[in-house]
Amino acid sequence: FNVLGKGRFRAYSAGSHPSGAVNPFAIERCSTLGYDTAQMRSKSWDEFATPGAPPMDFVITVCDQAAGEVCPIWPGKPITAHWGFEDPAAVHGTDDEKRKVFDKVYRQIMNRVNQFVNLPLHILDHNAIQREMRAIGERPAEEAHEQH
């Protein structure tokens, strides 16, 4: 979002059950793409439901496990959607097999983010944005050409 949105978005990442450490394959993938990983840390999504948390316009859950969980009550009533992806951190195998899954999920995420950032948000009302966000999550997360 931060890159493809060209300054229109400020994205944050958190989990419902953070492990306490950012997965090294996630750090490796982000570093390879030139992203600044210095500020990456494992954090709970509860951080974003507290007073003083940055306001959220959109909240997208991505882990298939999170789809059935009760989410925090987000301040400001952001538009929410679920975009399910395989959890690459849950993959067992060789390092190369793990990297391949991280790469695949990265491409799938970028495909969906690209669809979202290209929506005409300035002319869509709240309900239309909600429908579009949910539709993006319901379409297959086919892999797109790598972008960053």
The DSSP secondary-structure symbol of 45 reads G
CATH code assigned to 24-138: 3.40.50
Predicted local confidence at residue 110, as pLDDT: 93
Predicted local confidence at residue 148, as pLDDT: 43
Predicted local confidence at residue 147, as pLDDT: 44
- The answer for residues whose C-beta is within 8 angstroms of residue 91's C-beta and 6 or more apart is 97, 98, 101
Specify the pTM: 0.85
Q: Where are the domains of the chain?
A: 24-138
Question: How big is the CA angle at 69 (ends 62 and 78), to the nearest 5 degrees?
Answer: 65
Q: What is the mean pLDDT of each run of 10 residues along the chain (148 residues)?
A: 88 89 92 90 91 91 68 85 90 93 93 95 96 94 53
Predicted local confidence at residue 92, as pLDDT: 92
Predicted local confidence at residue 4, as pLDDT: 86
